[in-house]
Structure formats: C-alpha cells, structure tokens
C-alpha cells in the first residue's frame, strides 16, 4: 500500500532512535542512527563497517512489524525472494536471458547465503525464480514496456 511505503520512506529519514520508545530512566534516552541507504538502520558507533544491520536485527525488526501491524505476509525470506525476482525482471525487461549464469550473478550480487549455490539456483528456479513467475508478478510493467508476455 502506498501509505505504508510513504511511512517507510519517512522513517528512513529519521536520525535518532528512542530505545523502548523513550521509556524514562534509560542511560541514553536517544541514540544517533547511521546515515546510510539502508531502511533498517543501526545506531552510530565507532566500529569499522557500521551501518548494515545484521540478519538477526532485520529478522527481529520484521517479526515485530508483523506482530504489531498484523502483517502476516511480512517475512524476511519473502523480501529476499521479492528482491531476487525484481533483479530477474530487470534482466527480462532488457531482453536478456534468465539463465544459470545470470542467476549466479544475481545471487552473488545479493550475497545469498547457501552451502551450495548451484543447488539453490536449481531449487529456486523450480520454485519461483523463473520467467513464468516474473511475468506473473511484473505483467503490468512488462506490458507498459511493450514486452511480450
């Protein structure tokens, strides 16, 4: 929904975080957030490479959002899959093949963690990472671009 996206964009502009929603008596009532391109931000520290939230923080955040707002569809794995599908859509919209080599590049760029990348790609191609699924979810965009379905 557009209002949800707008809320996320506005939240991304926030520079401070109030732990426990500003509960009185905390040692630090506000923390500075890292200024970066990530939607889920971490607190400002002196650590090298700061700013990218760990998988645990992202999963926890989505679990909380799912619970608070009743978004049963909001799952980290769904977001990962959505991002992979979008990368596939970009290839198809440029007229490129969604072959094993292209998928390998997408998965490496997206830092998909797995013990066997080739097996993961084979499995995902069967499940969702294929032209049929991309054309299903991106039909309107492909039609606007004049791409055949």
Q: Give me the helices (H) in 54-149, please.
A: 55-69, 76-93, 100-109, 117-127, 131-137, 139-144
Q: What is the pLDDT of residues 23-61, one digit of tens each?
A: 777 788 888 888 877 778 887 776 665 667 777 888 888
**pLDDT (0 to 100) of residue 84:** 94
Is the pLDDT reported for residue 7 higher than 90?
no
The answer to whether the predicted template modeling score (pTM) of the entire model surpasses 0.75 is no
CA distance 51 to 30: 17
Q: Considering only residues 72 and 21, tell me which one the structure prediction assigns the higher pLDDT.
A: 72
CB 19 within 8 A of CB 7: no
pLDDT average, residue stretch 79-92:
92
Give the number of other CB atoms < 10 A from CB of residue 89: 19
φ, ψ for residue 16, nearest 5 deg: -130, 155
**pLDDT (0 to 100) of residue 102:** 94
Q: What is the pLDDT of residues 88-129, one digit of tens each?
A: 999 999 989 999 999 999 999 988 889 999 999 999 999 999
149 falls in which pLDDT band (50, 70, 90)? low
Residue whose tokens read 């606007």: 144
């Amino acid at each position: 929904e557009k209002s949800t996206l707008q809320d996320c964009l506005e939240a991304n502009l926030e520079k401070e975080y109030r732990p426990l929603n500003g509960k009185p008596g905390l040692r630090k009532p506000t923390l500075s957030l890292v200024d970066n391109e990530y939607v889920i931000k971490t607190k400002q520290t002196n650590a090298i490479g700061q700013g990218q939230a760990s998988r645990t923080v992202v999963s926890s955040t989505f679990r909380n959002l799912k619970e608070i707002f009743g978004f049963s569809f909001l799952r980290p794995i769904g977001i990962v899959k959505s991002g992979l599908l979008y990368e596939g859509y970009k290839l198809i919209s440029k007229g490129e093949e969604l072959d094993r080599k292209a998928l390998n590049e997408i998965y490496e760029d997206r830092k998909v963690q797995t013990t066997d990348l080739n097996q993961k790609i084979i499995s995902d191609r069967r499940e969702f990472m294929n032209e049929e699924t991309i054309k299903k979810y991106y039909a309107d965009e492909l039609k606007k671009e004049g791409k055949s379905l």
